[in-house]
């Protein structure tokens, strides 16, 4: 029985689908390298890497509780633990609280400013699941939530959050908008039936164009950021490879098939890793 409950909890936090926390991890680590001017040290690396996994897992718990009545009408999500009744609402919220507290414990090892930013990060994490009911492009809210590691990284390293961090956050928001619109394209037919608001529905026939424009803005902003820090050929080669991946994603989503759009979404963590690898490599060879 204990083993089965544990397996259900792992399913609830999407443990077997690491793409979600990897999408959070790479821009956070990229910001950490920018803030530190290179290698940030083991302490901050562990804090932000582990904290990212914990907070994404906590967010899954809250999201599944908030969406349980909608998810049962969507083929892809109907068997999620909370929606199916395998895990109770109380259990899911308790698990989410434990994970969030563990992440907060990591934040307490940093500094006062980072701790203050963590409260804002928690607030947007709790607000996002409900944005899908009221906001035409809730992916923009998710973009803010998934980018909060950026200002927190600068706060932890520099005890301040410069305008440079705001540019990184804005650029990353467009990457989130790109890949989560791909994700929303998978469920568009079901979301239309249940009245859920998504960017895929709002953008309509311009959905593919919006995704590609968002990729372009993200890569342009982060390329500018690397150039402003004097990163060289390795970094720009990585940006080029990431751009090539974005073109591949266009090939996958232009037919608007469920399988193609979902594959593009799942592969986005490689695009994020490529950009981060370019940043880390650029500083290592600087």
State mean pLDDT over 130-140.
Answer: 84
Our separate counts of H helices and E strands in the chain read 15, 0
- Please give the biggest Cα pair distance in the chain: 56
Confidence of residue 264 (pLDDT cuts 50, 70, 90): very high
pLDDT tens for each residue of 93-115: 999 999 999 999 999 999 999 99
**210 burial class (0-12, 13-18, 19+ CB within 10 angstroms)?**
buried
**Of the candidates 138, 129, 123, which has an alpha carbon nearest to the alpha carbon of residue 173?**
138
Quote the pLDDT of residue 238: 98
User: Is the Cβ–Cβ distance between 283 and 29 less than 8 Å?
Assistant: no
pLDDT tens for each residue of 11-63: 999 988 888 899 999 999 999 999 999 999 999 999 999 999 999 999 999 98
* pTM listed for this prediction: 0.93
State mean pLDDT over 129-150.
Answer: 88
User: Could you confirm whether domain 2-284 is CATH 3.40.640.10?
Assistant: no
Asked whether the predicted pLDDT for residue 132 surpasses 80, the reply is no
């Amino acid at each position: 029985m204990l083993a089965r409950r544990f397996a259900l909890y792992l399913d609830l936090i999407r443990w077997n689908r690491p793409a979600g926390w990897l999408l959070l991890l790479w821009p956070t680590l990229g910001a950490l390298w920018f803030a530190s001017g290179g290698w940030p040290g083991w302490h901050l690396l562990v804090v932000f890497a582990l904290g990212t996994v914990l907070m994404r897992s906590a967010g899954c718990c809250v999201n599944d509780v908030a969406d349980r009545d909608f998810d049962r009408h969507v083929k892809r999500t109907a068997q999620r633990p909370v929606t199916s009744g395998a895990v109770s609402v109380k259990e899911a919220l308790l698990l989410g609280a434990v994970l969030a507290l563990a992440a907060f414990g990591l934040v307490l090892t940093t500094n006062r400013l980072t701790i203050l930013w963590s409260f804002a990060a928690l607030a947007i994490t709790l607000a996002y699941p409900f944005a899908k009911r009221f906001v035409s492009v809730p992916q923009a809210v998710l973009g803010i939530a998934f980018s909060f590691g950026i200002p927190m990284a600068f706060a932890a390293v520099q005890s301040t959050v410069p305008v440079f961090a705001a540019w990184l956050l804005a650029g990353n928001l467009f990457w989130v908008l790109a890949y989560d619109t791909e994700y929303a394209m998978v469920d568009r037919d079901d979301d239309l039936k249940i009245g859920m608001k998504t960017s895929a529905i709002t953008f309509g026939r311009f959905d593919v164009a919006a995704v590609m424009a968002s990729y372009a803005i993200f890569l342009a902003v982060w390329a500018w950021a690397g150039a402003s820090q004097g990163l060289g050929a390795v970094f720009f080669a990585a940006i080029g490879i990431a751009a090539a991946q974005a073109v591949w994603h266009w090939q996958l989503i232009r037919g608007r098939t469920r399988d193609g759009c979902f594959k593009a979404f799942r592969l986005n963590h490689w695009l994020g890793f490529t950009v981060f690898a370019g940043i880390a490599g650029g500083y290592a060879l600087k």
